[in-house]
Amino acid sequence: MKIRLKVGGCAGFAGDRYDAALAVAQTLANEDGPRFLVFETLAERTLALSQDPSARAARQRMMLKRLSVVLPLCMASGIKIVGNFGSWTPHETASAIADLCNTLDCAQPKVAVVTGDDLIGKVPVDVLKTLPGDAEHEDFNRLISANAYLGAFPIAEAFDHGADIVVTGRIADPALVLGPMIHTLQLAPNHWDALACGTLAGHLIECGGQVSGGYFADPVTKPVPNLAWIGFPIVDITDDFICHLRKPENTGGFITRQTVIEQLLYEIHDPAAYLTPDVVLDLSQVTVTECGQDKVLVSSPKGLPKPDSLKTTLCFEAGWYGETEISYAGLHADSRGLLAIEVIRERAAMLFPDLPLRCDLVGVSSVFASNVGMAPPDDPEWLGNSHDVRVRVATFSDDKAQVAALCADVEALYTNGPAGGGGVRIQLTPRITTGSVMVPASSITTQIAMYCNGKAIEISPVRQEAICHD
């Protein structure tokens, strides 16, 4: 049993911690063999928010700050990087990485860009409307994006052609690990059990600190040590397709059989048939074994032939969100908060009858879609015991002026009562809804561009010879 590659999970979402990746990079820099860092930073929510140019620019700044922590060490140590931080503008991201290397005074990497996920203009809207999924109630006249989840083979292809960094847009999260594995072991597209192993490895580390106890932690039932400095995971993949999970030494959290099992089942609908672009992963017979402190073996995944369609996320313009918050503190704060909600509901029914309205007491009832989690107002265990409450009022509409007017009416609670309101915050943001459809894989073309020495090398279709463009 020989370890063939080592992959560190360095981000689980766009706003993840910057410092945790450094410990992973430092650990791998002191080891040998093929080593990779993966950054999963493109959730559906992130993709939708990146429609706004200012938000997109802010996220690129975050990406560059994240890479600046590890890039000099990776370039000096031969550690390769792959991430879906390309979002809507992967070619711009590649250019920004080159500029960052100049700023950091480190060697210029070969940066590959994987594209093909953006289906706008490639798959007609009339066709998207007819595909199976959950978007049948959306207004396709307001469609602003359609991005397919690509698979791992384009990433492998990019590394085959010498990439140091691979930048993608929308891609299946586990593919960020499977791609390096395909490249390292030169796996065939029908080596199902091997592809299942790489997909399993990707699923285990794609969320960063979750598998190290982050999402697992509950101080009452499942305490986790040193949570403030949780270590991000590393997976070692052997030639017999076993995943060895670990984390950097002297970091917080832990990796145990329990944390791994929770992560195995995270966002999984059917453990026997986890659909990905490269393979259908069967987790039902997986074995999870602790083999030391912060060391867990995961083995026996099974792979079935991949589906013939790819999940595609659709984003639609949907008007404006409006949120207003106001706090009440001190004696009878809870009663005053409830009275504020009563006042807002009464006024909104008269002044804004067409606006949907949600009113929450943050910390009492503000998560569920109904008041199911809220204690009755006359419950002696609750009423009179909350000396600090925050009222949140939210609405949405295509009519931005109406949304703004309702928010202003909530702010008017300041002087019109109840007593003692303060700390008002108002936020109006564009509203984007999402849906999904299944697009035939045969209708999607993937391309790769390599940036090196001022030249772009396109590789299309995958597994073909590169053509250099001066």
Q: CATH code at 387?
A: 3.30.70.1120
Indicate whether 388 and 355 sit together in one domain. Answer: yes
End-to-end CA distance of the chain: 45
Q: Which two tokens stand for residue 217?
A: 């932690």
Shared domain check, 365 and 256? no
- Helical ranges in 209-332 per DSSP H: 257-264
The full length of the chain comes to 470
Q: In the prediction, which pLDDT does 68 show?
A: 96
User: Based on the domain organization, do 253 and 400 belong to the same domain?
Assistant: no
Q: What is the CA radius of gyration of the chain?
A: 25
Q: Are residues 274 and 349 in the same domain?
A: no
In a domain, 254, yes or no: yes
- pTM: predicted TM-score of the whole model, two decimal places: 0.91
Extract the residue ranges of the chain whose pLDDT is less than 70. Answer: 365-385, 453-455, 457-470
The encoded tokens of residue 253 equal 């959290």
224, two tokens: 């986790």
Domain boundary among 281, 307, 333: 307
Residue 63 covered by a domain: yes
Domain C-terminal end among 307, 329, 352: 307
What is the model's pLDDT at position 465?
A: 37
217 and 351, same domain (yes or no): no
Q: What is the model's pLDDT at position 407?
A: 98
| Same domain membership, residue 65 and residue 183 | yes
Q: Do 259 and 395 have their domain in common?
A: no
In a domain, 72, yes or no: yes
Q: CA–CA distance from 235 to each of 9, 208, 262, 283, 314 (Å)?
A: 8, 11, 16, 17, 32
Structural domain boundaries enclosing 199: 3-109+164-307
Q: Does residue 131 lie within any of the structural domains?
A: no
The neighbouring-strand residues paired with 329 are: 388
Q: Which residues contact 18 (CB under 8 A, 6 or more apart)?
A: 65, 66, 69
In this prediction, residue 228 carries a pLDDT of 97
- Provide DSSP, 135-194: -TTS-GGGEEEEEE-B-SHHHHHHHHTT-SEEEESSB-TTHHHHHHHHHHHT--TT-HHH
Domain co-membership, 302 together with 324: no
Residue 376 confidence (pLDDT) = 52
In a domain, 146, yes or no: no
Are residues 241 and 301 located together in one domain of the fold? yes
Query: Number of structural domains, the chain?
Result: 2
Does a structural domain hold residue 51? yes
From 307, 340, 357, the end of a domain falls on 307
Residues 262 and 380 in one domain: no
279 plus 324 within the same structural domain: no
297 shares a domain with 185: yes
Asked if residue 29 lies in contact with residue 36, where contact means CB atoms within 8 angstroms, the answer is no
pLDDT at 467: 35
